[in-house]
Every structure is written in C-alpha cells, then in structure tokens.
Amino acid sequence: MIRPATVEDVETIVGLVQDLATYERASDRVQLDADLLRSALFDERPAVFAHVAEEDGEVVGMAIWFLNFSTWTGRHGIYLEDLFVRPERRGQGHGRALLVTLARLAVQAGYGRVEWSVLDWNEPSIGFYRGLGAEAMDEWTTFRLSGDALAGLAGEPD
C-alpha cells in the first residue's frame, strides 16, 4: 500500500534516509533529524512531501519529493529527492508503486514531468528506472553550492 506520510512516520523515514545514505556511501553527510523532517513535511505551508510504501503495517519504503518548475514547459514538475526501499523488500513492487503514485499525481495536477538523480555507479537502480521508460539526461551535469562555497558566495556584494 502506498500512502502519504504522516507525522507518525517521521522517525522511520529518517531511518530510511540514513539507510539510503549508507547505501550511497555517504552516511557521514546526513544532517537530517526527526525535528527537521517533521518541520519540512508538516509545517503550515510544506514545500516537501513524502509517500511511504507499507506492508503488513510496516513502512518498507519511501519517496520524498518537492515541486520544481520548468521554464521550457511553463509547468511544475515533481523532483524526487529520495526513493528507497529496504533491501530485503526490494523486488516486490514497492519502488515501482511509489513511482506510479508520483506519476499519477503529476498527471492529475497537470505537471510536465517527474525527475530525479541517480549515482552513475548504481546500476541496479539505473536498470530499474530504464525499465520504467525513464531516460537518462546524459548531457546535463548537476552542480551544487554548499558549505564554505555557498557561504562565500552569499557573502559577496551584489
């Protein structure tokens, strides 16, 4: 069963994010905690959303997403920040069901796309996504400002 996340799911989702970071060899970079996630998902005007995959009353997977906007299409889209299913529950359709849910949300709302990033070494996920009909955006490179570089740029005069 796929459903929107509730406040009661926050601790479990934080654990899933930590598991994902471990899988992606970046567990030392996770700063998320339950308070931050609770605030992001359930503030008066949330800008981040989550759905969970539940089996027999247990959350076994999650999708965390937010809206983006394409100036080329003139429409919003969904950016999937994280998709994760517990390793022992993979291959049972949970990841696909989470993506089907997001695709339906996008179509129903008139959004132009659902997009996400995947590590280039993550062949199982790449194969899974290609099997859904997703296309790699090989001509695009993701850039990020963070830490000292972000603070330094923010401190420059206009």
49 CB neighbour count, 10 Å cutoff: 18
Catalytic residue among 23, 79, 111, 129: 129
What is the spatial distance between Cα 145 and Cα 156, in angstroms, rounded to a whole number?
14
To the query of whether residue 23 is one of the catalytic residues in this protein, the response is no
75-85 and 114-116 strand pairing: parallel
**Cβ(103)–Cβ(88) under 8 Å?**
no
What is the spatial distance between Cα 110 and Cα 74, in angstroms, rounded to a whole number?
11
Mind telling me the catalytic residues? 129
